[in-house]
Structure 1
């Protein structure tokens, strides 16, 4: 087993310091191994050293501009540090260089969500759930985006799908409550808000929803 394989195994086992040593030794032995830079960046990101992680991902891209995994990793650091435009560019580069995976579309969609452009977010989130029907968070964000774009009937179907996959998803119940309240279906709305509170007692929005519905019914 070479240093790269050892490092990846150690990284998967959560042995970050030992993994970092393997990747660093590989970089010293072969300074043009772009994957070693990506993996060392992964370790740095895992321990919260985002600035150095960025530099290692950028070095990997400098060595191989078409290395999609480096662009994707760089995008994740940028989105974690709320640099959404930089994140968007990185995820687009990952797609352009062949990483046509659900996670990439999902993260790209989130960059548009976080910058307030739901119209651009929607097709990426839709593609994410097409590629991975088991990604509950992607389904939820897709539903939220539909709701913000006033496609409430479609959004309601998505939120119902979310709770079919995760019966403890308090936010999905809350948003179903909102959908029912907008249609003045107050009994159904109240039931959804109460379910959200049952799952998450400190769900402030659901608590407020209950008060609003009760005032409307009175």
Structure 2
């Protein structure tokens, strides 16, 4: 009864500022179920945002199938929003639907070719699928800030691993070097560098 006394705008603000994802789902669901939305205020993009925020809350609750449903509802209203496609890709990835996840990231990149995180996540999925050439292509699309921003150390490390699997050890070492220049304490990159150097040395001795 108390929820009906709140306006749609109040419910949205409560959902946006709620600390726990369960609360977010509750408030956003109340908006989506309401018959009192002002159609002039709550147009398709606004409702798509509510569906998207609900999906993100479900991701936080590890309820990824429900999250996918929410993102699909959002895309019915706003199909050219790369963030919705990106979040759908994340949800599919957690469900183990790697091919569907790749499709979602591809859609996000069709709308925004400079969406660095989508390129990185798509590359990581190609890594998982053993498609190392495709993974490298994705990492090479990442914006030039990847060269200097420590947050991209993971991408350089993954790119190096892809080269390693392709037995391109010199290229792999170059990638791991970039990681360690950004983060000298990156243990995984240190180990990967050592392994790549051993392989390169062995190849040279043959």
User: Which residue matches 2:171?
Assistant: 188
Q: Would the aligned equivalents of 2:59 and 2:91 in 1 still touch at CA under 8 Å?
A: yes
Task: Answer yes or no: is 1:41 the counterpart of 2:11.
Answer: no
1: CA distance, partners of 2:115 / 2:133: 21
Structure showing greater relative contact order (alpha-carbon pairs closer than 8 Å, 6 or more residues apart):
2
User: Which residue matches 2:127?
Assistant: 147
Q: Which runs of 5+ in 1 are unaligned?
A: 1-26
Structure 1-normalised TM-score?
0.77
Summarize the Cα distance change of 1:39–1:100 in structure 2 as closer, same or farther, 3 Å threshold.
farther
Q: Would the aligned equivalents of 1:41 and 1:54 in 2 still touch at CA under 8 Å?
A: yes
Q: Would the aligned equivalents of 2:132 and 2:166 in 1 still touch at CA under 8 Å?
A: no
Task: Answer yes or no: is 1:208 the counterpart of 2:191.
Answer: yes
What is the CA-CA distance between 1:107 and the residue it aligns to?
A: 0.3
Task: Map 1:21-60 to 2 at 5 A.
Answer: 28=5, 31=6, 33-44=7-18, 48-60=19-31
Structure 2-normalised TM-score?
0.81
Q: Which runs of 5+ in 2 are unaligned?
A: 38-43
Task: Map 1:7-22 to 2 at 5 A.
Answer: none
Q: Structure 2 residue aligned with 1:73, among 53, 62, 69? A: 53
User: Which residue matches 1:175?
Assistant: 158
Aligned alpha-carbon RMSD (Å): 2.1
Q: Would the aligned equivalents of 1:68 and 1:99 in 2 still touch at CA under 8 Å?
A: no
C-alpha distance after superposition, 1:133-180 (max 9, x if no partner): 222111111111222223322221211221534213212211221122
- 2:185 is paired with a residue whose SS is coil
